[in-house]
Amino acid sequence: AQKITQTQPGMFVQEKEAVTLDCTYDTSDQSYGLFWYKQPSSGEMIFLIYQGSYDEQNATEGRYSLNFQKARKSANLVISASQLGDSAMYFCAMRDGTGANSKLTFGKGITLSVRP
């Protein structure tokens, strides 16, 4: 099974509206971390938000929030008040395992286009 699944091929949102980008994950570990990154056309990966598996509250960072549903193994990213500059690829990633088995695994990504 894939560790990180992002099934939405492409998303469109109107400027100033909110959008949810879906991410489901698969791990048997109790301790893990979930990340979201943004990759604009320039190619650089930009860290957005982090959620630890033991965190009881959903993470928030400015306009970004993570809707963490542990039982469903989902970690959806919510972007509020979309801006034109939010148009980019968005990657969900998970770090699980310990020691030599610990690494960051990325999903395939979702393209978000913000319409004016």
Partner 1 sequence: KAGVTQTPRYLIKTRGQQVTLSCSPISGHRSVSWYQQTPGQGLQFLFEYFSETQRNKGNFPGRFSGRQFSNSRSEMNVSTLELGDSALYLCASSLGSAYNEQFFGPGTRLTVL
Q: What is the contact surface with partner 1 in residues (CB under 8 A)? A: 33, 35, 37, 42-47, 50, 52, 91, 95, 98-109
Q: How far apart are alpha carbons 96 and 3 in whole angstroms? A: 10
Q: How far apart are alpha carbons 83 and 62 in whole angstroms? A: 13
Query: What is the smallest separation between the CB atom of 42 and partner 1, expressed in angstroms?
Result: 7
Pick the closer one to partner 1 by CB: 12 or 47: 47
Task: Give me 51's structure tokens.
Answer: 């959620």
Pick the closer one to partner 1 by CB: 98 or 116: 98
Give the DSSP letter of residue 76: E
- Other Cβ atoms within 10 Å of 9 Cβ, number: 9
Pick the closer one to partner 1 by CB: 44 or 116: 44
Query: What is the smallest separation between the CB atom of 16 and partner 1, expressed in angstroms?
Result: 28
